[in-house]
Chains A and B, each alone.
Chain A
Amino acid sequence: MEILLSKPVLIGIHLGFGIIGIDAFLWLLGELKYRGRKKPLLITAVVGALSFIGSWIAGGYYYVKFYGPLVRPVIKGGLAPWAHNIMMETKEHIFLFIIPLAITALFAVLLKEEEFESLNIRKVVMLLAAFIAALGLVIGAMGFMISAAARWGVIN
């Protein structure tokens, strides 16, 4: 448990689940586009939503427990304080959008193929899956900048 809750492992879990979540929603996009079978559709959406929840819990614990007291002062005193002021502040808040969006996409793929056709919502659900993946990628890019700013803050 001690290793699991250590700083590098928490970051790894946060990032790993985030990547699985992004990949799952990109996969879901493909399944929707090529009218995949119901089971893979559902599995990808469940994996995506659960992965983002895992990323949220690991990242949130790291953020509250370690980032604020240990990393934030290093970035603020380093070469790129904007990495905290803009990137981290934005990242930590827009992450909160992802879970409701992912659950909404999950509910959408509960529909049967014929229901998708009769409701005529395939394109908008594809747009939602693409948006979730894109938001995840933006958040990931912000995380990379924040980590780089912390490293350069230490070197500086």
Chain B
Amino acid sequence: MKKQKLIYSSSIAAILSTLFVTVITILAEKAPVLKTWLADFSGHHWTSKSILSLAIYFSGLIIFYLIPRQVTGEIVKKYLKVTILAAFLGALAIFIFFAGHNFGWF
């Protein structure tokens, strides 16, 4: 098993999962149809987001591991940095969105 490729694939999968959670959370608040669909999918919108985010993470992990690519230390480092940045920005976006929602900014 190529360990650096595993870290690289996991980073990309984590970025995709983070993006998914951030986007679907904000969209579902703005589009009740989507929130209803999420609630119907598993019985609760949060459970559905959990299942789908894990599905995206593990699918991404397998797909990016199997796609042939020469993964160097620089590439691993770059994607790890993007992973941290994506999670930080995603958390910030969700916090600002719900703060804005609460205070009626948007």
A→B interface (CB under 8 Å): 56, 60, 63-64, 68, 81-82, 85-86, 89-90, 92-94, 96-97, 99-101, 103-104, 107-108, 110-111, 115, 118-121, 124-125, 127-128, 131, 135, 138
Contact = CB atoms under 8 A, between A and B. Distances in A.
Interface of B: 3-4, 6-7, 10-11, 13-14, 17-18, 21-22, 25, 43-44, 46-47, 49-50, 53-54, 57, 72-73, 76-77, 80-81, 83-84, 87-88, 90-91, 94-95, 98-99, 101-102
14 contacts: A86-B95, A90-B91, A90-B95, A94-B90, A97-B21, A100-B17, A100-B53, A103-B10, A103-B14, A107-B7, A119-B73, A127-B84, A128-B83, A135-B87
A14 B47 CA distance: 16
A110 B8 CA distance: 13
A89 B99 CA distance: 10
Contact of A100 (B10, B76, B101, B102): B10
B91 A85 contact: no
A90 B94 contact: yes
A97 B94 CA distance: 12
Contact of A131 (B49, B54, B88): B88
Contact of A85 (B7, B21, B102): B102
A124 B77 contact: yes
B74 to A, nearest CB: 8
For the residues of A in contact with B, the DSSP-based class is helix
B102 A93 contact: no
Nearest to B83: A104
Contact of A97 (B46, B90, B95, B102): B90
A96 B50 contact: yes
Nearest to B49: A96
Contacts of B101: 85, 89
